[in-house]
Amino acid sequence: MIMLDDFIIEAIKEAKKVKTDIPVCAIIVKDNKIIAKETNKKELLNKTTYHAEILAINKANEVLNSWRLADCEMYVTLEPCPMCMWAILNSRIKRLYFGSYDIKYGAAQSVVKLPQIANSKIEIYGGIKEKECNEILKKYFGELR
């Protein structure tokens, strides 16, 4: 049986491969199967909205041929920003699991609590493999300086 840790570990593995952008990976799962897996591509493709979560939602929409992702879960290495959180809420994803808390831009539980504002029933679980997710970001930003 596939466990919650398996999906976040897969997201961590993919995030570690990112070299040109902030290393974040988002995975969307339906019926215990990965249907979308994306990393940030904002810098790589010069597209403002190419965050991992947005790209994963778009891919899942294509796979399911629907904008509604009500039977899906998202696993992401970093707490979503307001743009991504709003897209997650609008897609009707039922559960969100994330690793690192984003104390500057987090919109799930940290800075702005968009699910509360939207009166959403999404289940959110933060801090999954937080130490590992934090290390990826720390390494990336350390190398930039």
- Give me the amino acid identity at 16: K
Instruction: Kindly give the residue spans of alpha helices, DSSP state H, lying in 65-129.
Output: 82-91, 114-117
Establish whether 135 is a catalytic residue: no
Rg (CA), the chain: 14
Report the alpha-carbon distance of residue 137 to residue 49 in Å, rounded: 20
Q: Which of 10, 14, 43, 53 is catalytic?
A: 53
Alpha carbon 25 to chain centroid, angstroms: 6
Report the alpha-carbon distance of residue 144 to residue 72 in Å, rounded: 35
Q: Which residues are catalytic?
A: 53
